[in-house]
Structure 1
Amino acid sequence: MAILLDKNTRVICQGITGWAGTHHVTQMMEYGTKVVGGVRPGKGGRSHLNLPVFDTVSAARDETGANASIIFVPPASAAAAMIEAIEAEIPLVVTVTERVPQLDMIRVREALAGSRTRLVGANSQGVLAPGVAKLGVMATGSERPGGVGIVSRSASLTSEVVAQVSDAGLGQSTTVGVGGDPIHGLSMRDCLELFFADPETEGVVLIGEIGGFEEQEAAEFIREAKPSKPIVALIVGAHAPAERRMGHAGALAIGGAAAASAKIAALEQAGVRIAPSAGLVGRTMADALAKTH
């Protein structure tokens, strides 16, 4: 069973008429995702990709029964789009937009407090339940249905790990890209809690990187929860120069707790198996699952 989405998930796209929205929504529909409409202020009443377009999220929700939204809106307007979806009580919102201003994301986090919405992102590659639905921009082809949940801050490494897990004959229950920006919605800890509660997820891969303290928060939760499911982690950036951004807006290690070594130590202390290299994540998870059976 997937987390966050299933075959009954009804998706709208905010920013559907732009190039990115058009391209990725087309791929999502080809994958089998139930996309039911789009939102573009000023273009309500038209159609795009044979889907109805609405001026507002609330109108789209009322007309289509949508319970999820994916956002392809430029950074300067992305926060307003997220807040509109939150106020429309859309249960799941995925934001692909990268480098949303941090002060804007603080406003989004305030809107999330006490709401009915789970926000994935910003700067997320999305959520993928193999063979069920794709809500994002990730490449497909190497994924397989299975029992390994993947939560990641890195889109490219997610694709690599998905391929390894499939090659190991395990497959994935769901992959979730929490987002690479410093301030985002759903956290690694939140995803772990969902995966631990999912009876069909047998093990979890956590892909982290330098910057922030999210991996330490996940480690603390693992120590408290004491899950029976094995957890394998890959933390990248051990050799990154200090005080220099490394691609992701959130990947900046100033040293101390934000460094890869501190994150690895915290996870090891929580009983997490650390993959020795990016090329051995699938094998490490296969070995871990074999020891639990």
Structure 2
Amino acid sequence: MPHRRCRALIARLSLSLAVIAAPAAATTLEYVGTYVWRGNERSFGGFSGIEISPDGHEFHALSDRAWLYWGSLHRDPEGRIREVGVAGRAQLKDSKGTPLKPGYLGDSEGLAVAADGTIWVTFEGLDRLASFDNPDAAATLHARPPELPGMRLNAGLEALAIDAEGDLYSLPEKSAREDQPFPVLRYTDDTWSRYGTIRRDPRWLAVGADFGPDGYLYLLERDFHGLLGFSSRVRRMRLTPDGPQDEEILLTTQPLQYDNLEGLAVWQDGLGIRLTLISDDNFLIVQRTELVEYRLRD
């Protein structure tokens, strides 16, 4: 073969191999901002769940003492939160209309708001699922979730998410052991069922979840470092009965970078997918309620 043709063939082959080996476009996560939310009411604080409207301007926030806050998020031209306007707050009620007290019956943790406005809440302590037609309504009780390995007092169904079809998914804060995966429960047609598992990495605990507009499940996890505070991690994955697919870790924070992030909401801001996280201050003066936001670009 003439040298010229040989060199041309080698060049074309090299180019083809370079195209095949070229990596896919990277996923980038951009920090948007942090807003410290303050309130003077005794009920303010301890937020363990948050839901954001599709346009990013309305919110519901759930405390672990059975209080629900709702209102508006005022943003600057760059989309950063500049003020939280509280439109109302309500103490959640039991099925008889009696306000729930903090503790065993009132340890509300997971929050999901359906397209029709129904408010869904999971509780620790007495592990259960309840729905509310509005924040002031009496609870509608539903089938009790099955007892899972690792579930115990203060380690029940912490994360709750609702998909586009209206099915609910929940998982406990802990699995049976650090080397065993988190079991995932699905609730549909008033029936609970096991829906696969999600890998657990030692020390990381599941504290929040939400389905994004891309159909992925986003999972918020937390690690506690004693005097060094908390670190947080966000994973996303396609949830299937055969296990997660296309899983990736989007965010891992350093100890003391943020407070005790426990709630996660995922929405579309027009430039990318926005992650809004809220911290649980445990009603302690040394902690704070933070709204932390990132934007995901694929």
Q: Same fold by TM-score, threshold 0.5 exceeded?
A: no
TM-score (norm: length of structure 2): 0.25
Larger radius of gyration: 2
TM-score (norm: length of structure 1): 0.25
Higher RCO (C-alpha 8 Å, min separation 6): 2
Query: Larger % of helix: which?
Result: 1
Query: Larger % of strand: which?
Result: 2
